[in-house]
């Protein structure tokens, strides 16, 4: 375990080196989702397979989540992108990285690709979307619901979750309620700056968008493909928003294919790069 000081907060970071002493072929930075999520959702799913494939993996807990610091304020999308930028700088990751984002983490990853295209080799969105006005309105509704139904009526809500879901889910929900109650996150995220379609179109690196077939986000697939110059969408039948955990092999396989394709496009084999075109 390592802690990285961004200057604004401290982020809990885990790194996995390629297994067996293999050289690093690429670096993937994995960004998790909101409230009940942490880097553990990657550590126990796709991260080991990425390391086995020769990829250096960087995972971190977003501010307010997991073992990272919990400042009272500063939870807009730009703050999350600032943290990602500081993390790459502190870890001295200089080359373009492959960003993988689940849910809110994908929104962070996509926004960072808009902001710093030279630092991003590819973006993989898992059950996620760019930050649009519709996204901000939806997150506002979700966070208000957490505030009213969970943070303000915590005992009853947690009892219901424990009875009808699981004790583990109830523990996660309790942490989410504490975060909403103790910080400005419920106000900050809906007030984040959003992207117009022109800014979304500016992302030229390869983009992969994965959705559960039973998720309402799957409807975004044609829209994303129409906007982005290099975008592939995959819908995994029979899954909803938890597709990363429930179908990690499928999700990880598609992301690895994208990373390998993007790296081949950026770094052709030496014998091909120097070959006589005649």
pLDDT per residue over 9-63, tens digit each? 999 999 999 987 777 889 999 999 999 899 999 999 999 999 999 999 999 999 9
| pTM beyond 0.75 | yes
Measured distance CA(58)–CA(47) in Å, rounded: 9
Mean pLDDT along residues 236-261: 96
Residue 249's Cβ-count burial label (10 Å; 0-12, 13-18, 19+) is: exposed
Burial class (CB in 10 A: 0-12, 13-18, 19+), 160: middle
pLDDT score of 278 more than 50: no
pLDDT digit string, tens, across residues 177-224: 889 989 999 999 999 999 999 999 999 999 999 999 999 999 999 999
What does the block give as tokens for 131?
């930050």
- Residues linked to residue 29 through DSSP beta bridges, in sequence order: 58, 99
Contact call for residues 191 and 76 (beta carbons, < 8 A): yes
């Amino acid at each position: 375990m390592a802690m990285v000081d961004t200057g604004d907060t401290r982020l809990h970071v885990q790194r996995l080196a390629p297994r067996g002493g293999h050289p690093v072929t690429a670096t993937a930075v994995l960004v998790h989702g909101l409230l009940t999520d942490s880097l553990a959702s990657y550590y126990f799913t796709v991260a080991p397979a990425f390391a086995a494939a020769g990829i250096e993996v960087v995972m971190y807990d977003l501010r307010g989540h997991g073992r990272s610091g919990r400042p009272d304020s500063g939870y807009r999308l730009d703050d999350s992108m600032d943290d990602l930028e500081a993390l790459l700088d502190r870890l001295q990751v200089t080359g373009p990285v492959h960003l993988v984002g689940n849910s809110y983490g994908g929104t962070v990853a996509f926004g960072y690709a808009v902001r710093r295209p030279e630092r991003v080799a590819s973006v993989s969105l898992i059950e996620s979307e760019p930050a649009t006005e519709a996204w901000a309105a939806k997150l506002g509704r979700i966070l208000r619901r957490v505030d009213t139904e969970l943070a303000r009526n915590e005992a009853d809500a947690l009892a219901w979750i424990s009875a009808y879901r699981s004790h583990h889910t109830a523990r996660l929900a309790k942490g989410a309620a504490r975060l909403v109650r103790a910080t400005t996150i419920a106000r900050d995220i809906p007030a984040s700056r959003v992207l117009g379609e022109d800014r979304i179109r500016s992302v030229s690196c390869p983009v992969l968008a994965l959705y559960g077939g039973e998720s309402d986000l799957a409807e975004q697939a044609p829209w994303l493909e129409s906007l982005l110059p290099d975008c592939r969408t995959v819908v995994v039948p029979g899954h909803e928003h938890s597709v990363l955990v429930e179908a990690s092999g499928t999700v990880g396989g598609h992301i690895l294919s994208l990373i390998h394709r993007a790296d081949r496009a950026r770094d052709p084999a030496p014998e091909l790069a120097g070959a006589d075109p005649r």
